[in-house]
Amino acid sequence: MPTIPDRKSDNRAQKPSAHHSRLNKKERRLHLEEKKQVAKIGMTLSMGALVATGLMRGRGAKLLHLWSGIALIGLSAWHYHLYQPEAYNNKK
């Protein structure tokens, strides 16, 4: 009869933040800065797409304008979350 592996020894049972606990503060800061940069670039691109599609006509432009707006809202929320103090993020 096969034995069932212990969940504590199973690598998949680890918390998703286990990777971050192994990183030192400087490495985490570097990852955070990269995420902030990606969020800013994404917001800039979606804002540009909003302006461009706002000046265009046609059904495709309207659809792209809608999805660009949704992307801007999502990226803005992510951007806001990245700038919250670390103590606030750990309370959740």
Q: Classify residue 83: in a domain, yes or no.
A: yes
DSSP result, 43-68: HHHHHHHHHHHHH--SHHHHHHHHHH
Q: CB within 8 A of 78, min separation 6: which ones?
A: 39
**22-81 per-position pLDDT tens digit:** 667 777 777 889 999 999 999 999 999 999 999 999 999 999 999 999 999 999 999 999
Total-model pTM: 0.63
Q: Classify residue 7: in a domain, yes or no.
A: no
Range of the domain at 59: 25-90
Q: What is the pLDDT of residue 85?
A: 83
Q: How far apart are CA 78 and CA 75, in angstroms?
A: 5
Domain count, the chain: 1
Residue 13 vs residue 44, higher pLDDT: 44
Q: Classify residue 3: in a domain, yes or no.
A: no
